[in-house]
Amino acid sequence: MATSKSTSTYNRQNWEDAEFPILCQTCLGDNPYIRMTKDKYGKECKICSRPFTVFRWCPGARMRFKKTEVCQTCSRLKNVCQTCLLDLEYGLPIQVRDAALRIKDDLPRSEVNKEYYIQNMDREGGKLDATTPTGAVGKSQAASDLLMKLARTSPYYKRNRPHICSFWVKGECKRGEECPYRHEKPTDPDDPLADQNIKDRYYGTNDPVADKLMRRADQMPKLEPPEDRSITTLYIGNLGEKLGEKELRDHFYQYGEIRAITVVSRQQCAFVQFTQRQAAEIAAERTFNKLILGGRRLTIKWGRSQGRQGGEGGDNSDGEEMLEPVPGLPGTLPPPPTDMRNNFFNLAAPAAAAAAAASSSDAMMQPMMIPPPPMVPMGRPPPGIVPPGPPPLMRPPPGAAAAAAAAAVAGAGATTPFYFPQVMRPPPGVRPPHPPPMFPPGTSPMYPRSVTNPPLAPPGTGTIHYPSQDPSRMGTAQLGGKDQ
């Protein structure tokens, strides 16, 4: 309840009762499920001194609680937020906005005239939509270049941080991490931003934040056109995912005829090419640091030339640009000799290869012929010579030793020796030995039994069956004592 004894205290019909505050996105916070407390006629407006409904909420985690400071009638007169008193459309102080739009402040300052003026504006505002600004702001012209340069397109949640803990500055804070205030060093007390007045901001006089933004606007760079008159392309950056060719064409066609628009979705940029250089210069001048589409401030730059990529010098036949040497660095290495340009490993060429390279190009080197190895004579031994005996595992036939001795005596005087091949058939009447069994001991061979080829089994063992071949497991009937 208001405690002052002004005329508005007894004129209760002019007290303001609202269901929801007029706030900017920054003060509202990033939490979509925000909860507010509503205090009907909780405080007086800091501009018109009328009691109004006060809303209080927390914009997010680790943020300070905020509340409305002015009534909605004063907020609609200037089109500002009820908490931070910044413009709802551009996010700028009132002083900067009024200077850009050339709006003259005619709000009275005296208490009597102010109350009468507010009552009339409140009556006129009741006939309009609650979201429509009243007064001189609602009748202002379109946005100027200064507003488009300084306008804030995204919320600045850093403004909702808690205040600095005065006990921590003095070294007396004992809360630690539970302290709801910031534990940081304060700014310079001589800084003009440290001394801000809510009435100066509302009336647009002596606002340090507005002075800082005006100086920033004067120091902003300008986009100079390139010297190459053939460049008619503009680079458009920071498009995002929603802006496409249609939105760009709808905006840039007003500056001149467009030849082509190329959108690079991966890099979120585009290239707009005009047919005339004059149209491209007008588009660059009117959109540089001013263009806002889809809630995003777009980056405008001049494109690069698509013509000659090499240098302009006429002495360079390869089209490469000749650069000046950097002082203090060693010069370039001399080129390698002509005969060593293809020799990457610096290997000495053999004499034969060097002689072949020096000869005529049509001469071809003959392949080197390798003689075949000597052939061992194959066939039957001469008469009277018996082949060598069988392997040690087989007994020699009778008379084989005497025949071998006679052959050695007969061949003692021969001049040319005879070599027998390693693999020969055994003599007639000699049976070749069987190969050793290729299965582990205790198992039977896989080939069928026969009289001439008995199974090879270890001595002292009979026929061995696998468990799956056991007659008792294959369903055969056994002759027991009962059957007998």
In what order do the strands lie in the sheet containing 233-237? 258-264, 269-274, 233-237, 299-302
pLDDT grade for 314, boundaries at 50, 70 and 90: very low
| Rounded average pLDDT over 455-464 | 54
pLDDT grade for 333, boundaries at 50, 70 and 90: confident
pLDDT at 363 over 70: no
Mean pLDDT of the chain: 74
The CA–CA distances, whole Å, from 13 to 9, 43, 48, 164 equal: 10, 16, 15, 41
Check residue 483 and give its pLDDT: 45
pLDDT at 91 over 70: yes
pLDDT tens, position by position, 180-216: 999 998 887 777 777 788 888 998 888 888 888 888 8
Which range has the worst mean pLDDT, 87-101, 241-255, 363-377, 430-444?
Answer: 363-377
| Rounded average pLDDT over 8-13 | 60
% of the chain exceeding 70 in pLDDT? 58
Pairwise pLDDT comparison (479 vs 29), residue with the higher score = 29
249: tokens are 């064409």
pLDDT grade for 219, boundaries at 50, 70 and 90: confident
- How far is it, in rounded angstroms, from Cα 105 to Cα 387? 135
Distance from chain centroid for Cα 458:
75
| Rounded average pLDDT over 236-249 | 89
CA-based diameter of the chain, in Å? 158
Which range has the worst mean pLDDT, 54-63, 215-224, 316-325, 463-472?
Answer: 316-325
| Rounded average pLDDT over 314-342 | 61
pLDDT tens, position by position, 260-297: 999 988 888 999 999 999 999 999 888 888 788 887 88
The size of the chain, in residues, is 484
pLDDT tens, position by position, 35-83: 999 999 889 999 888 899 999 999 988 899 999 999 988 898 888 999 9
DSSP reduced 3-state for 111: helix
Check residue 311 and give its pLDDT: 42
pLDDT at 455 over 90: no
pLDDT at 6 over 60: no
| Rounded average pLDDT over 433-453 | 56
- How far is it, in rounded angstroms, from Cα 434 to Cα 445? 14
- How far is it, in rounded angstroms, from Cα 289 to Cα 297? 7
